[in-house]
Amino acid sequence: MHHKVVVVGGNRIPFAKAGGPYAQASNHDMLTAALDGLVARTGLSGSRVGEVAGGAVLKHPNDFNLTREAVLSSALSPSTPACDLQQACATGLETTMYIANKIALGQLDSGIAAGADSASDAPIAVSDPLRRILLEASRARSAKQRIAAFAKIRPGHLAPLAPRVAEPRTGLSMGEHQALTTTRWGITREAQDELAAASHHRLAEAWDRGFFDDLVTPYLRVAKDALLRPDTSVERLAALKPAFGGPEGTMTAGNSTALSDGAAATLLATEEWAAEHHLTPWARIVDAEVAAVDHPAGEDLLLAPVGATGRLLARQGLTVADIDLFEIHEAFASTVLATLAAWQDEDYCRSLGLDGAIGTLDRARLNVTGSSLAVGHPFAATGARIVPTLAKLLHERGPGSRGLISVCAAGGQGVVAILEAV
């Protein structure tokens, strides 16, 4: 009972900086737009797809049943079931594996994996004391009781609480964690700025050659990734002030991902279903692996994918040399550089229980159409952005081409997957 699972298409809306053109759009709106673009491209209007798995990291209480509600708003048949999943920044890759595994097991013949996040429309909570007072007032049975409850409100209770992208167990933000990793692995400012500039230049080149014509659908009059700076350069990036790691820090707004808004979706199916629906399979999902590190004990928060990569390659009997293209999510430029350094580090890899160093990567095979530094990183959408992008790139290279996706996530977690062109 193991069916081949193929990626047959994808769609996302252009990603944009938080507070930008999508400031008034909700997770629901953006996820619906991503689904509708995919449905239009693949001709599935009114069709029932096996299941849609989606999610968002920053969720409102009214994002209840987010994915199912987006399906109902979309052009898909209302008889298409859906569920929400969440694994921080790896959500879009985890939804891909959820759908792929169900297809592999024969439970589905098709499915859509998706993710959306709005950092603009982030939920703002009231303080805990105020929340308790309001709940007490709502339980009150008389006006007197209600007045008594409201009388307890103090000015300090009224300040709203914006969501923090901080690790609950360390109190450090993701950037602060990564600053520790950057120092520990000796990643230089120059290397980070070079990687960031390359991300922008490669993304711009891909847009220019029409690579995204069948991967992106415009939304709210935005036709291209709004964070993209085609004319940026190492020199310009070098002028930016450090954002993390104190005055001597090497991480800047230019080599760290911006808070972003966006949504992405990818269509997975059996080969038979793809043929019936006149869709060209781009690549098959080969395998995937998840891993976690003990960051509260001091391990590098965003290097969990290293262990997952080593274990996955070993299980598949593959080495770095057997993989044609790599997609390492650019949470920060230094995350990618530290990941590559860790792959080459014999001792570090052995400490993860691997047989030895994973290997050295030729950077020409890495993030060839740019990645999150240039595209943006709406948390849950990134995995569902990368999967069809890589699948199409592999398809262009020809059957048998292999690609590896590595995505780090909050909580010291990581998800890694291998695709192979069909």
> Which residues belong to the active site?
89, 377, 408
Nearer to another protein, 74 or 257 (CB): 74
**Which residues inside 301-330 make contact with another protein, applying CB under 8 A?**
none
Q: How far is the CB of 21 from another protein (least distance, A)?
A: 12
- Candidate residues 15, 22, 185, 219; the one interacting with another protein per rule CB under 8 A: 219
45 is a site residue for another protein (CB under 8 A): yes
> Toward another protein, which CB reaches closer, 77 or 316?
77
Tell whether residue 72 is a contact of another protein (CB under 8 A).
no
Shortest distance in whole angstroms from residue 245 CB to another protein: 40
The strand pairing partners of 167, in sequence order, are none
**Closest to 404 measured CA to CA, from 368, 352, 350, 373:** 368
Site string for another protein, 268-287 (x = CB under 8 A): ----------xxx-------
Query: Least Å distance between CB 217 and another protein?
Result: 4
Instruction: Tell me, by CB under 8 A, how many residues bind another protein.
Output: 25
Interacting residue with another protein among 163, 186, 218, 400 (CB under 8 A): 218
Tokens at residue 355, please? 């047989």
Query: Per-residue contact track with another protein, 14 to 43, x per CB under 8 A?
Result: -------------------x--xx-xxxxx
Q: Which is nearer to another protein, 114 or 416 (CB)?
A: 114
What is the β-pairing status of strands 52-54 and 82-84? Answer: parallel
Q: How far is the CB of 41 from another protein (least distance, A)?
A: 5
Least separation in angstroms between CB 114 and another protein:
15
Residue whose CB is less far from another protein, 12 or 59: 12
Q: Pick the closer one to another protein by CB: 46 or 399.
A: 46
Provide the 10 A C-beta neighbour count for residue 19.
13
Amino acid, single-letter form, for residue 82: A
Q: Does 216 bind another protein (CB under 8 A)?
A: yes
Among positions 32, 110, 192, 217, the unique one binding another protein when judged by CB under 8 A:
217
Q: Which of 5, 33, 249, 250 is nearest to 106 (CA)?
A: 5
Contact pattern from residue 160 through residue 199 relative to another protein, giving x for each residue in contact according to CB under 8 A and a dash for the rest: ----------------------------------------
Binding residues for another protein restricted to 192-211, rule: CB under 8 A: 210
Residues that bind another protein (CB under 8 A): 33, 36-37, 39-43, 45-46, 75, 210, 212-214, 216-221, 223, 278-280
